[in-house]
Structure 1
Amino acid sequence: MTLTPERRTLLPMLGRTHGTRSASVCHWKCADACTRPDENVSGAERFVDVVRRSAHVSASRRTVLGSSAAGAALAALSVAGPVAAAPGRGGAAAPGTFGFTAIDPVPAEVDRFTVPDGWRWETIISWGDPVETGAPAFDAEAQTPEKQKRQFGYNNDYLDILPLAGSDRRGLLVANHEYTNDELMFPDYATADAAGKLRNTETAMYAHGMSVVEVRRRGPRDAWKPVRSRYNRRITLDTEFVIDGPAAGSPLLRTSEDPTGTRAYGTLNNCAGSTTPWGTVLSGEENVDQYFSKPAVPTAREARYGLTSAGRGWGAVQSRFDLANEGTRNEPNRFFWVVEVDPEDPTAPPVKHTAMGRFKHEGASVRIDASGHAVAYMGDDNRFDYLYKFVSRDTFRPGPSQAARRHNTTLLSAGDLYVAKFDGDGTEDGVYDGTGEWLPLVVGGRSFVPGYSVEEVLVFTRNAADVVQPTAMDRPEDVEPSPVTGYVYVACTNNTARTAARLDEANPRPANKDGHVVEIIEDGGDATGTTFTWNLVLVCGDPDDPSVPTYFGGWQGEVSPISCPDNVAFDAAGNLWVSTDGQPGSIGYNDGLFLVPVSGPERGRVQQFLAVPTGAETCGPQVKSEDGYVLVAVQHPGDFPGASYAAPASTFPYDGVFHGPRPSCVQVLPA
């Protein structure tokens, strides 16, 4: 595939990605963030500080680690037991509530959705399929903003199917639409005149947001299929949201469109999420900065949120995305929140929760503590950013009554916000582990950040967290508590910018291209507490590559190679499932979904369950093991170097509707 001069100009990451990673992924997903300075330049956590705080590290050991951090980290990781085994091929049946034989890793050039023997996959819904009543059938040659507003959006990420009316044959599918690959969507992407470019831009704008779609199936071994329903709706830039919590009404949230500071329009760059114990869906707003043209002179607070790019030209369609206009400067403050949607009530406005803080949310996952408080864990998906926890002020009311449900939908509107600091205990024991503390940001309605009011902490959470110096992590993405043990698992996707000078025990590898998974155990099992212990359960990579130390929970047998952990999920037995984003560029294989037992004799035994097509990312995994199936969202299929609308790299989902790729929600179930 050849690249036009226009496309080369459009993609500043050309020649800077690894392996077969496409520069367009970097451009459309995060606005080429790696070409700009890191958003966190605070130096919140230095490796030598972590070592000096460790009560179990000897003085001589401190000297070694402080003077040669990179070499010491690699040596210690080797002691921890790197698995020098071949990739898993034809492994035994996986433990858990259903079994499978691990698939071979799929080379990155292969355009195939791959599942184990004895399993099949079916598409549930794809980009452009009708959602709302009256929506037209998909026609890639004639997409318009008006059509896209009522059709399934692009690049679905978080995904779940919630039972409807207690039925196991009716459900509500809820999906995020994170961003768009415009060059793969529009036939005239490179040739359109000014009016055509505006039409394409506006169409792409309405391909963002969320979808709620009723689905039905004939029986437990049949696939879900979308149906027309009063529940079906698209959540787009036209959708009105309620802003609630302590910052609602703040001058920091007021705009000319809403002088009250209590309303917002639309949700953008929705990445991961979760289904709450009370039956609503949470969605995290992530790389929203890319949609705004930068201010003439960005403030330090604006720069901390990445508001320094040229944007996508959205200001030509809606002026609120042009920050050169002083009247729009607060518009970004109405984004980067956790959003809550009630799929069962199409008339209920979605809510943006200021009590949970404003940053680049991968998502938010809730557990109910023994005390009854709702506890939400959240990652800020950026290099050198932080892990957060929210504890509700009020307690959960069990039961199916509408009164209980109404109460529970207010739990995320008030509470305490913390950020994590990890302390290492030294590596003489051959493992990376230690203790940690949840540092208070807002507790009991008071700010614990010097110089910041409560409203400022919640609207500029990143800046406030910098002040208290938490641990800067390697892109903490999805964070999920186990429904069986309550242990919390943090997917740190990667961080190639980490240097020896910025190593710490929780982020031990320089130029960390493969990522790792952190296991957190709240002290005493109390999720509302402020102390915890932690360890690294996975240090990812290809075990056949001796240049990259790896660790697989202590397992010494065969494993599937795994890199760039992104989203995590659990089956009914408490096994961890990890989906990946970036394997083509790191280890040369298509991304996939992997089973990882986290307890018992097979702890750390990584086995690959599926692989998505070329150029795609595996998103939104749901392992419905009690029901015998798995859900995944296939995001940006065909986003491969040189791909375009005219010359696609993928035809997924291979349905003949379109000659190119269509992001889709997929169900995997026994053959």
Structure 2
Amino acid sequence: MTCKYRCGDACFHEIPNTSDNPTFREVVNARVSRRNALKAGGLSAAVLGLASLGTAAPAAAAPKNPGGGLFTAIAPTPRTVDNVTVPGGFTWEPIISWGDPITTEAPEFDFWNQSADAQQVQAGYNADYVTLIRNGNGGNKAVLVFNNEYTNDELMFEVGGSDELTDEQLRIIMAAHGMTVVNVRRQNKHEAWEYVRSGASNRRIHTWTPFTVDGPAAGHEAMRTSQDPTGALVLGTLNNCAGGVTPWGTVLSGEENFNQYFDTTGAPDPDQKLARYGLTSGGRGWERVEDRFHVATEPHEVNRFGWIVEVDPSDPTSTPVKHTALGRFKHEGANVIIADSGHVVAYMGDDERHDYIYKFVSKNKHRKGNGHREHNKALLSEGDLYVAKFVGDGMEDGEWDGTGSWLPLVVDGTSHVPGWTVEEVLIWTRQAADLVGPTKMDRPEDVEPNLTNGRIYAALTNNSQRVDLDEANPRLGNKHGHVIEMSEDGNDHTGLTFHWRIVLLAGDPSDPSAYFLGYDREDVSPISCPDNVAFDPQGNLWISTDGQPGTLGNSDGLYLYPVRGREAGHLQQFLSVPVGAECCGPYIDLDDNTVLAAVQHPGEVSGASPANPVSTYPYSGHGQPRPGVFHAFRPRKPRPPRGGHRG
């Protein structure tokens, strides 16, 4: 069910990247020594790909050691448990859930009597990226921003599929996509955050919200439609996945699996531009209410999605922007760091099997101070775009590591792809990148710089169709995924070379192909399918997962993973989410007693329906699952656990 509605069953289709780009094996095969590929902790299964062929390991007990003194790691939660599980001494409270009204005029949520007008002023469905932007008052007031990635027709309505939806139900679904912005407050750091229904910042961004288009591709012929002959004004944002906060206080959001919303019936595709972006389906039925989602009728509308968008949460009247300079692909998200030179550098992943990791470097430099905010808001409008090539150094050193280079796509306003214009490179970035020889990766999702150590961490969720052995993707049929750390040479984020190493090969600790930086396997938690990454103020890596029920038999959750110091590799599970759900977000500040995460698609299990709900998260009496954002924290006084215990 999740595969169907989140990504249009992408994993059941052929891999869109059919280029003859060398896989990593062909690049480094001459340097990889199979004889020396056995490593401390056992690598034979990793090298031969045998681990992916076995059955899931039994659920492990909780690690022996506490979570670095911050918490005691929880034991893995069976995937059938309908509850949020947090460590001892912690509790959790929902902040906002699908359908909660965000204006004083908005109606209360009524599952059985929804409307498109109401949904436009109610919290959207399926929160993914979550962030908290502080605005004073001792840290007890803030703005909460979260993406609304996708909807599930069969859990929102009593229908068997998209073809049974009414026009009004289709519009409700369209209104539930996008982003939600709300003011939040708390009494003190020992109490839960709660959203403010009448907040001045409150806003819904949905399928009809106007977006301006900037950058080199704005106004290009391939961006123009019958409704927008300028090619510079788009309605809506779709399938928003991960994101990031800029130093100037705006939020970046990535448009990911936008392809599934477009009906390609009868649409010609002589250059395979549609197929390269996975546009091979019949859509979600939206074309029945708006022609722009029928590619044969409006062939350029699809080119107006797949971008990084920027939203200013401080101004609910502002018009969000789609930045074409950062390229068009299935963006998981974008996260930025200010280089020593003052240029802003954004890192991005294209979430598809055998697709790539990208970097953008702004043309102009960041200026400090609130008086330069408008200047800084334009920094992502112009700059250079690169794609990553990884080269391994062989396994003789006992590590998965090597060097890399950033291959230029657009530099100084000039295309570096022979025969392609700048606009073509940015609109059809996947095909342009195919031509310069980057490394095919195992579904690069969240790619974020760690502002504490300056290194970049990429979550490679999995790739069940990995059939080639290589050092950066070292497991055949990689069902558990891994995390790569990248260090820009000379700590120059505008440079063209980097070093890399794998810091986590996910799996059960008993799996010989799993790797935790050499930490004692008896003291780490099992993990699979790393998805979102985040960092706490100390620079520790936190990982949320998506897919563990099918690989380990456990609920998805959130994990602390130190990457430096004595505790490096000590993976500890902090929480788990309810049955059928994916753990998203997260936002971490334990010093502030704030861990925010999203429960995405609770109860999304095949066979579930409004008549037969599998989860009732957030246990608010509605009897139906309502995805949303919650706060895990230490209360001043112990509280009993809340929520359901079904399973």
Shared fold (TM-score, shorter chain, > 0.5)? yes
Q: Which residue of structure 1 lines up, in the alignment, with residue 149 of structure 2?
A: 178
**Separation (CA, whole Å) in 1 of partners of 2:50 and 2:487:** 21
Range 24-33 or range 298-307, more displaced: 298-307
Corresponding residue pairs, total: 622
**Separation (CA, whole Å) in 1 of partners of 2:483 and 2:594:** 25
**Separation (CA, whole Å) in 1 of partners of 2:146 and 2:616:** 22
Q: Which runs of structure 2 are paired with 1:219-298 in the superposition (5 Å)?
A: 219-227=188-196, 228-296=198-266, 297-298=268-269
**Separation (CA, whole Å) in 2 of partners of 1:181 and 1:348:** 29
When residues 193 and 579 of structure 1 are mapped into structure 2, their CA distance, relative to the original with a 3 A threshold, is closer
The answer to whether 1:127 aligns with 2:98 is yes
Contact 1:286 1:360 in 2 (8 A): yes
The answer to whether 1:554 aligns with 2:515 is no
Contact 1:637 1:650 in 2 (8 A): yes
Once the 2 structures are TM-superposed, how far is the Cα of residue 92 of structure 1 from its aligned partner?
2.7
Q: Which residue of structure 1 lines up, in the alignment, with residue 3 of structure 2?
A: 26
The answer to whether 1:40 aligns with 2:25 is no
The answer to whether 1:168 aligns with 2:134 is no
SS in 2 for 1:252: helix
**Separation (CA, whole Å) in 2 of partners of 1:214 and 1:71:** 52
Once the 2 structures are TM-superposed, how far is the Cα of residue 193 of structure 1 from its aligned partner?
10
**Separation (CA, whole Å) in 2 of partners of 1:369 and 1:166:** 31
Contact 1:523 1:529 in 2 (8 A): yes
When residues 72 and 220 of structure 1 are mapped into structure 2, their CA distance, relative to the original with a 3 A threshold, is closer
Q: Which residue of structure 2 lines up, in the alignment, with residue 316 of structure 1?
A: 288
When residues 47 and 495 of structure 1 are mapped into structure 2, their CA distance, relative to the original with a 3 A threshold, is same
SS in 1 for 2:109: coil
- Whichever residue aligns with residue 456 of structure 1, its letter is E
TM-score, normalization: structure 2?
Answer: 0.93
Of the candidates 437, 452, 457, which is equivalent to residue 425 of structure 2? 457
Once the 2 structures are TM-superposed, how far is the Cα of residue 49 of structure 1 from its aligned partner?
2.4
- Whichever residue aligns with residue 354 of structure 2, its letter is F
SS in 1 for 2:575: strand
Q: Which residue of structure 2 lines up, in the alignment, with residue 536 of structure 1?
A: 502
The answer to whether 1:662 aligns with 2:626 is yes
Q: Which residue of structure 2 lines up, in the alignment, with residue 136 of structure 1?
A: 107
Once the 2 structures are TM-superposed, how far is the Cα of residue 166 of structure 1 from its aligned partner?
6.1
Contact 1:189 1:200 in 2 (8 A): no
TM-score, normalization: structure 1?
Answer: 0.89
TM-superposition CA deviations, 1:233-289 (whole Å, max 9, x none): 111112110100111111110111111111111000000001111100000000000
Of the candidates 595, 617, 620, which is equivalent to residue 560 of structure 2? 595
- Whichever residue aligns with residue 109 of structure 1, its letter is T
- Whichever residue aligns with residue 31 of structure 1, its letter is G
Contact 2:58 2:552 in 1 (8 A): no
Once the 2 structures are TM-superposed, how far is the Cα of residue 165 of structure 1 from its aligned partner?
4.9
User: Which residues of structure 2 form unaligned runs of 5+?
Assistant: 52-56, 636-647
Range 457-466 or range 616-625, more displaced: 616-625
Of the candidates 604, 607, 614, which is equivalent to residue 642 of structure 1? 607
- Whichever residue aligns with residue 212 of structure 2, its letter is V
When residues 560 and 145 of structure 1 are mapped into structure 2, their CA distance, relative to the original with a 3 A threshold, is same
Range 558-567 or range 218-227, more displaced: 218-227
Q: Which residue of structure 2 lines up, in the alignment, with residue 604 of structure 1?
A: 569
Contact 1:435 1:534 in 2 (8 A): yes
When residues 384 and 643 of structure 1 are mapped into structure 2, their CA distance, relative to the original with a 3 A threshold, is same
The answer to whether 1:582 aligns with 2:582 is no
Once the 2 structures are TM-superposed, how far is the Cα of residue 220 of structure 1 from its aligned partner?
1.7
When residues 47 and 406 of structure 1 are mapped into structure 2, their CA distance, relative to the original with a 3 A threshold, is closer
TM-superposition CA deviations, 1:520-545 (whole Å, max 9, x none): 01101111001000010000011224
The answer to whether 1:51 aligns with 2:22 is no
When residues 72 and 577 of structure 1 are mapped into structure 2, their CA distance, relative to the original with a 3 A threshold, is closer
- Whichever residue aligns with residue 125 of structure 1, its letter is I
- Whichever residue aligns with residue 543 of structure 2, its letter is V
**Separation (CA, whole Å) in 2 of partners of 1:165 and 1:255:** 44
Once the 2 structures are TM-superposed, how far is the Cα of residue 164 of structure 1 from its aligned partner?
2.2
Contact 1:88 1:561 in 2 (8 A): no
TM-superposition CA deviations, 1:398-419 (whole Å, max 9, x none): 12x2x31111101111111000
Root-mean-square deviation (CA), in Å?
Answer: 2.2
Of the candidates 527, 534, 541, which is equivalent to residue 569 of structure 1? 534
Q: Which residue of structure 2 lines up, in the alignment, with residue 481 of structure 1?
A: 449
Range 339-348 or range 28-37, more displaced: 28-37
Once the 2 structures are TM-superposed, how far is the Cα of residue 649 of structure 1 from its aligned partner?
0.7
**Separation (CA, whole Å) in 1 of partners of 2:614 and 2:104:** 33
Contact 1:85 1:559 in 2 (8 A): no
SS in 2 for 1:458: helix
Of the candidates 404, 413, 416, which is equivalent to residue 445 of structure 1? 413
The answer to whether 1:522 aligns with 2:498 is no
Q: Which residue of structure 2 lines up, in the alignment, with residue 93 of structure 1?
A: 66
- Whichever residue aligns with residue 295 of structure 2, its letter is L
Contact 1:132 1:234 in 2 (8 A): no
- Whichever residue aligns with residue 199 of structure 1, its letter is E
When residues 209 and 552 of structure 1 are mapped into structure 2, their CA distance, relative to the original with a 3 A threshold, is same
TM-superposition CA deviations, 1:352-403 (whole Å, max 9, x none): 000000000000001111111111100000000000000111111112x2x3
**Separation (CA, whole Å) in 2 of partners of 1:192 and 1:224:** 36
Contact 2:24 2:390 in 1 (8 A): no
Once the 2 structures are TM-superposed, how far is the Cα of residue 85 of structure 1 from its aligned partner?
12
Once the 2 structures are TM-superposed, how far is the Cα of residue 42 of structure 1 from its aligned partner?
1.0
When residues 411 and 193 of structure 1 are mapped into structure 2, their CA distance, relative to the original with a 3 A threshold, is closer
When residues 139 and 411 of structure 1 are mapped into structure 2, their CA distance, relative to the original with a 3 A threshold, is same
SS in 2 for 1:26: helix
SS in 1 for 2:2: helix
- Whichever residue aligns with residue 283 of structure 2, its letter is G
- Whichever residue aligns with residue 187 of structure 2, its letter is R
When residues 49 and 669 of structure 1 are mapped into structure 2, their CA distance, relative to the original with a 3 A threshold, is same
Q: Which runs of structure 2 are paired with 1:507-518 in the superposition (5 Å)?
A: 507-518=473-484
Contact 1:172 1:214 in 2 (8 A): yes
Once the 2 structures are TM-superposed, how far is the Cα of residue 171 of structure 1 from its aligned partner?
1.0
TM-superposition CA deviations, 1:179-210 (whole Å, max 9, x none): 00111111x3249997x622222111110011
Contact 1:301 1:460 in 2 (8 A): yes
Contact 2:24 2:439 in 1 (8 A): no
When residues 86 and 36 of structure 1 are mapped into structure 2, their CA distance, relative to the original with a 3 A threshold, is closer
Range 569-578 or range 621-630, more displaced: 621-630
- Whichever residue aligns with residue 662 of structure 1, its letter is R
Once the 2 structures are TM-superposed, how far is the Cα of residue 218 of structure 1 from its aligned partner?
1.3
The answer to whether 1:468 aligns with 2:468 is no
Of the candidates 181, 192, 209, which is equivalent to residue 178 of structure 2? 209
- Whichever residue aligns with residue 664 of structure 1, its letter is G
- Whichever residue aligns with residue 94 of structure 1, its letter is G
TM-superposition CA deviations, 1:542-599 (whole Å, max 9, x none): 12245xx111111124210000000001111111000000000111100000000101
**Separation (CA, whole Å) in 2 of partners of 1:457 and 1:121:** 46
Once the 2 structures are TM-superposed, how far is the Cα of residue 175 of structure 1 from its aligned partner?
0.8
User: Which residues of structure 1 form unaligned runs of 5+?
Assistant: 1-23, 79-83
SS in 2 for 1:552: coil
When residues 108 and 86 of structure 1 are mapped into structure 2, their CA distance, relative to the original with a 3 A threshold, is closer
Q: Which runs of structure 2 are paired with 1:143-162 in the superposition (5 Å)?
A: 143-162=114-133
Q: Which residue of structure 2 lines up, in the alignment, with residue 7 of structure 1?
A: none
When residues 48 and 344 of structure 1 are mapped into structure 2, their CA distance, relative to the original with a 3 A threshold, is closer
Contact 1:85 1:544 in 2 (8 A): no
- Whichever residue aligns with residue 390 of structure 1, its letter is F
Contact 2:183 2:202 in 1 (8 A): yes
TM-superposition CA deviations, 1:136-180 (whole Å, max 9, x none): 000000011111111101001011111125651211111100000
Once the 2 structures are TM-superposed, how far is the Cα of residue 93 of structure 1 from its aligned partner?
2.9
